[in-house]
Chain A
Amino acid sequence: MDGEQWEIVRQTIDISLNGMAGVFIFMGLFTGVIVVLLKVFPHREG
């Protein structure tokens, strides 16, 4: 692999780490949103 391709690999690793962290942050955030949503709008019988 030439230097240019190594640079692509480096960028890919960077994007992958940020992407995976981003996915977890979003899903964590959404989890929190759902918990709050269920508390604010609980199910009422009838």
Chain B
Amino acid sequence: MQELLSGLTSISAGQGAMFVIAGLLIWLAIAKEYEPTLLLPMGFGAILANIPFSAAIDQMTGGQVTEGPLSLLFRMGIATELFPLLIFIAIGAMIDFTPLLQQPILLLFGAAAQVGIFLTMGLAALGGFSLKEAASIGVIGAADGPTSIYVAAKFAPHLLGPISVAAYSYMALVPIIQPPVIKALTTRRERARKMELHPHPVSRKARIIFPILLTLLAGLLVPMAAGLIGFLMFGNLLREAGVVERLAKGAQNELANLVTILLGITIGATMTAAEFLQTKTLLIMGMGLAAFVFDTAGGVIFAKVLNLFLVRKVNPMIGACGISAFPMSARVIHKLGQEADPQNILLMHAVGANVGGQIGSVIAGGLLLALVS
């Protein structure tokens, strides 16, 4: 009888607290619909990992390690960086780069809004974290879950839980985080500024060559980025090729869904009480928020500086779309533009900058891997 109740009697306060946190993630996913595809499996993974003597994760019994399926998935899919890379194929297959190809200058906003990564990295270093930990925390500012996981798995796997929670939570909170920052940095007149739209069509050849050329360029210049950018662009090539529709749809649906389930529940399983209930988790959550604020401010300020040199001024809010939280950020900026002037339609510009941010975050992640390694 005592053995049957051993799980119940061995539960610690920390594990109890983790059940509450896991419940909160599941509640956010279901009731608030905050990134439910990730937060729901993560919450459940956290429950599984915190059950005393859980067979879902590795356990030491009689001096021998009994492998748990979630620990096995971690070693196979996260420690090897396989899961985030597979997710990139899916993301690439989902993204239409046409709005960016129609206005290539929008890519520069995708660069400017990565400033949050590097500023937050500095904050983390000042906060006492090691260089690799600081880089992993900074990458929350990529506003791109798979990039955050990819870099953190390489540099600071012990921080994977809080980093993933921060990255996905703040991505879901973009509609709450970005507007006050943008409003503080722009006037209503600036927000109401209209941008002309000349949607000239892009040839199929250009759309097909774009992902191949980008992979070659990025891979040859920063080989460490080849995995990140290559898998993203491979997914996009499947989409644009037009001859492998079945594969493109498979990447967008089956691959994305399956890997998201495995990724979420496996990361959730890293959220054990011993690893998660630490002061540094709170610090990481705080710095993650700062990263999103810095990204947004960096993008807006860059757009305002760029306007000093442009004949046809851009709406400075477009700069804030350079973060990679796609398509959430584009929707937020379009809505803010309409608030300032109901006739203001910024959606296509915003989407262009937003997909530029996706490329920017991957490049920033790759550069960090190269520079910190």
* Cβ contact of A42, chosen from B121, B203, B217, B364, cutoff 8 A: B203
Assembled-state Cα–Cα distance A31/B111 (Å): 11
13 example contacts (A-B, Cβ-Cβ < 8 A) are as follows A11-B131, A15-B118, A15-B368, A15-B372, A19-B367, A22-B371, A24-B108, A27-B360, A28-B108, A30-B214, A33-B214, A34-B101, A34-B104
The A contact surface, by secondary structure, is: helix
Instruction: Give complex CA distance A26, B111 in Å.
Output: 8
Q: What separation, in Å, do the CA atoms of A42 and B202 have in the docked complex?
A: 7
From B170-178, B180-188, B204-212, B334-342, give the one contacting chain A: B204-212
**B210 closest partner in A (C-beta):** A37
Among all A-B residue pairs, the 4 with the closest Cβ atoms:
A16-B118, A27-B111, A34-B104, A12-B125
B111 and A12 form a contact (CB under 8 A): no
B8 at the A interface (CB under 8 A): no
Chain B interfacial residues counted at CB < 8 A: 48
| A38 neighbours in B (Cβ, 8 Å) | 101, 104, 202-203, 206
Give the interface of B toward A (CB within 8 A): 100-101, 104-105, 107-108, 110-112, 114-115, 117-119, 121-122, 124-126, 128-131, 134-135, 200-203, 205-206, 209-210, 213-214, 217-218, 221-222, 356, 359-360, 363-364, 367-368, 371-372
A34 proximity list for chain B (CB < 8 A): 100-101, 104, 107, 210
> Beta-carbon contacts of A10-46 to B below 8 Å, as 1s and 0s?
0111011111101110111111011101101111100
Quote the shortest CB–CB distance from B287 to chain A (angstroms).
13
Chain A residues with Cβ below 8 Å from B214 are 30, 33
A9 & B126 in contact (Cβ 8 Å cutoff): yes
CA distance A30 to B233 in the complex (A): 13
Assign chain A's interface to a size class: 20 to 34
Q: Given A12-B131, A16-B121, A19-B371, 15 more contacts at CB 8 Å? A: A8-B130, A15-B135, A18-B371, A19-B117, A19-B364, A19-B368, A22-B222, A26-B221, A26-B363, A27-B111, A27-B356, A27-B360, A29-B217, A33-B217, A38-B202
Could you tell me the distance between the alpha carbons of A15 and B203 in the complex, rounded to whole angstroms?
39
Contact between A12 and B217, CB atoms less than 8 A apart: no
Whole-angstrom distance between the Cβ of B142 and the nearest chain A Cβ? 11
Kindly state the separation between the CA atoms of A19 and B224 in the bound complex, as whole angstroms: 13
Q: Shortest CB–CB separation between residue B101 and chain A, in angstroms?
A: 6
Q: A30 to chain B: closest CB distance in Å?
A: 6
B134 pairs with A12, CB closer than 8 A: yes
CB atoms of A22 and B203 under 8 A apart: no
A41 with B206: CB separation less than 8 A:
yes
How near does chain B come to A35, taking the closest CB pair, in angstroms? 6
A26 CA to B105 CA, complexed, in Å: 13
Pairwise interchain contact B200-A43, C-beta atoms closer than 8 A: yes
- Across the interface, do B108 and A16 meet the contact criterion of CB distance under 8 Å? no
Which residues of B lie under 8 Å from residue A16 when comparing CB positions?
A: 118-119, 121-122
Known: A12-B121, A22-B367, A23-B360. A37 touches B213 (CB 8 A): yes
Contacts of B115 in A (CB 8 A): 20
Query: Given A5-B128, A19-B117, A42-B203: A27 and B108 within 8 A (CB)?
Result: yes
Interchain CB contact (< 8 A) of A43 among B104, B202, B209: B202
**B-chain residues with CB within 8 Å of residue A24 when the two chains form the complex:** 108, 111-112
| A30: nearest chain-B partner, CB-CB | B107
Q: Which of B105, B115, B125, B200 has the most CB of A within 10 A?
A: B125
| Residues of chain A with a CB closer than 8 A to B101's CB | 34, 37-38
> In the complex, which of the residues B107, B126, B218 has the most CB atoms of chain A within 10 Å of its own CB atom?
B107
Q: Which of B104, B206, B364 contacts A31 (CB 8 A)?
A: B104
A28–B206 CA distance with the chains assembled, in angstroms: 18
